Structure 1
Amino acid sequence: MRDLFRSLKRLGLGAGLGVLFGLLAFGQAAQAANPMELNFWLSGPNYEGRVKGCEAALGTISYQFQEKESRFWNSALQITGFGQIHETAFRPWQSDNIPRRYCSADVMLNDGKLRTVHYSIIEDGGFAGFGQGVEWCVTGLDRNWAYNPACRAARP
């Protein structure tokens, strides 16, 4: 092995790497898994498209908004009410993607300002893939710019 590296050093770095990659290229060919090596239980995603309606996520959004504002931004802002709740899209992409329902609503905050929240309800998008997950953005209060500009990344 020592002689191999000495000869590679003499040939130069480029030629040495070429020889090394050439040796690796002539290794054993990859083979398909035999039936005992196959994993029988992971058959792939099996989405049914059963996503709750837009109103089902409002409690989660209120709770997570208050928690985010108080914990990370030292703010007392809270959502006091929702209005104009409507669906903007359902599974806007191909049918084999994770099913999502996109919604928008007007929210009233305890500072008296009316803002818009854009959110999506995701099948199997909860913690560790259990339950339905919710991703949301309140326009004008995306302080870490996760959905910038103006919560556009939270929409379809």
Structure 2
Amino acid sequence: MRALSFRKVHLIAALGLVFGLLAVGPAAQAANFFEKNFWLSGPRYDGNLPPCEWALGKITSRFADKESTFWNSALQITGYDRVHEIAFRPWQSDNIPRRYCAATAMISDGKPRPVYYSIIEDGGFASFGDGIEFCVVGLDRNWAYNPACKAARP
């Protein structure tokens, strides 16, 4: 019983010491002149995104790669119809600019399927170039945009 209370006292003392050291640490300070003005200017989005048709070739390529690599499938997109914009910057204007688009994709199995995609400014690898996120309804096998690609729309 005595050893247990001795351990508790040591534990309480150790915790008190740790919290005491944290309390006397240096306070947070604002950024100095160089930190604010040297390579830390922040994002400057201008909203100049390519049209919806620009992304179709990349979507076709990435869809075929995803199907063959991850799902052992030979499905491919053979064409598009009714390509149109759904929304452009649907939220506040100071968010990352996105152009939301929709189209009907003809799949190699003969079934036309809706495809929803967005073009994201500076959304490419390491923020270089425009990024593309897409979802083909009925072929979102890992349910990343479920249900029925609703999460790929604004």
Shorter-normalised TM range? 0.7 to 0.9
Quote how far apart the aligned CAs of 1:20 are. 2.2
Quote how far apart the aligned CAs of 1:9 are. 4.5
Q: Find 1:49's aligned residue among 39, 47, 50.
A: 47
Matches of residues 100-139 of structure 1 in structure 2 within 5 Å?
100-139=98-137
For residue 24 of structure 1, what is the aligned residue in structure 2? 22
**Cα distance change of structure 1 residues 109 and 128 upon mapping to structure 2, 3 Å threshold:** same
Q: Counterpart of 2:67 in 1: which secondary structure? A: helix
Contact 1:9–1:16 (8 Å) recurs in 2: no
Distance (Å, rounded) in 1 between the aligned partners of 2:22 and 2:55: 54
Distance (Å, rounded) in 2 between the aligned partners of 1:151 and 1:92: 18
For residue 97 of structure 2, what is the aligned residue in structure 1? 99
**Cα distance change of structure 1 residues 41 and 87 upon mapping to structure 2, 3 Å threshold:** same
User: TM-score, normalization: structure 2?
Assistant: 0.87
Q: How many residues align?
A: 149
Q: Give the root-mean-square deviation of aligned CA atoms.
A: 1.9
For residue 65 of structure 1, what is the aligned residue in structure 2? 63
Aligned-partner residue type, residue 136 of structure 1: F
Listed as ranges, the gaps of 5+ residues in structure 1 are 1-7
Listed as ranges, the gaps of 5+ residues in structure 2 are 1-5
Quote how far apart the aligned CAs of 1:32 are. 3.2
Query: Identity rate of aligned residues, in percent?
Result: 68
